[in-house]
Amino acid sequence: DQQVKQNSPSLSVQEGRISILNCDYTNSMFDYFLWYKKYPAEGPTFLISISSIKDKNEDGRFTVFLNKSAKHLSLHIVPSQPGDSAVYFCAATFSGGGADGLTFGKGTHLIIQP
Amino acid sequence: NAGVMQNPRHLVRRRGQEARLRCSPMKGHSHVYWYRQLPEEGLKFMVYLQKENIIDESGMPKERFSAEFPKEGPSILRIQQVVRGDSAAYFCASSPGRGIYNEQFFGPGTRLTVL
């Protein structure tokens, strides 16, 4: 039972353009969402997060949008740079306690083409 | 400030042997999480520990797997009598506190291969 779904295993985007990575979730208890970036042979590193009380959070080139009614979130990267090529994981949890681990999607491999 | 350290980075075991994976959290962090990533899958939470205590082991397989985080030394994830299905990347994360506003910092992982 996949509670966090990333339906695109890979995405190819030209350098300088916008990259949009999507994520859907099924558990309505989730109220805090995170994006992690992972390079080969390294652990995931935190990128950006959003609480369910917001619908948008921005940090530099990265913006996360949350649509609670659709149980959908997306990560926008603009402009895309070669160093953004990595696997991006969407993760979710709930703030009310009792869930210490994060629930991850399977990841989307972003490839930035020069 | 060194990050989360895991060793070994690669571990090869034959079926039936034991695997011990070690995780040293970041300095000042007393909360440790273990995750497993099977091939082509996302990371799956296994267990959450604070010093000397297992707080949440809801993702831990019921048999052959155990974890500890002693007062001194690294956290250990132990897999007894390994099987081929245990082949995966095992990631450890640490945080300075509990809850969503305490970021989990991940180590580079241990890649376990069971022959």
Model pLDDT for residues A51-109, shown as the tens digit of each residue? 999 999 999 999 999 999 999 999 999 999 999 999 999 999 988 765 678 999 999 99
CA B30 to chain centre: 14
- CB of A7 within 8 Å of a chain B CB? The answer is no
- CB of A86 within 8 Å of a chain B CB? The answer is no
Q: Model confidence over B27-36: pLDDT tens digits?
A: 999 999 999 9
Average pLDDT score over chain A: 94
Q: How far is B62 from chain A (nearest CA, A)?
A: 17
Reported as a pLDDT band with limits 50, 70 and 90, residue A2 is confident
Residue type, A73: L
Chosen from B29, B90, B100 to mutate, greatest number of chain A CBs within 10 A: B100
The 3-state DSSP class for residue B38 equals: coil
CA B110 to chain centre: 9
Chosen from B7, B24, B104, B105 to mutate, greatest number of chain A CBs within 10 A: B104
Query: In chain A, which residue's Cα lies nearest the Cα of B102?
Result: A100
Q: Assess whether the previous peptide bond of B108 is cis (omega < 30° from 0).
A: no
Residues of B in contact with A24 (CB under 8 A): none
DSSP 8-state assignment for residue B62: S
Q: Model confidence over B58-97: pLDDT tens digits?
A: 999 999 999 999 999 999 999 999 999 999 999 999 999 8
Residues of A in contact with B4 (CB under 8 A): 43
Provide mean pLDDT across the span A30-55: 95
CB atoms within 10 A of CB B58: 12
The 3-state DSSP class for residue B86 equals: helix
Q: Which residue among B40, B42, B107 places its CB closest to the CB of A104?
A: B42
Q: Model confidence over B37-59: pLDDT tens digits?
A: 998 899 999 999 999 999 999 99
Burial (Cβ within 10 Å: 0-12, 13-18, ≥19) of residue B88:
buried
Return the pLDDT at A94. 87
- CB of A107 within 8 Å of a chain B CB? The answer is yes
Return the pLDDT at A21. 98
Q: How far is B17 from chain A (nearest CA, A)?
A: 25
Judge whether residue B1 has pLDDT over 70: no
* Chain position carrying tokens 């571990």: B11
DSSP bridge partners of A5: A24
Q: Could B100 and A32 be called an inter-chain contact, meaning their C-beta atoms sit closer than 8 Å?
A: yes
Query: In chain A, which residue's Cα lies nearest the Cα of B42?
Result: A106
Return the pLDDT at A100. 77
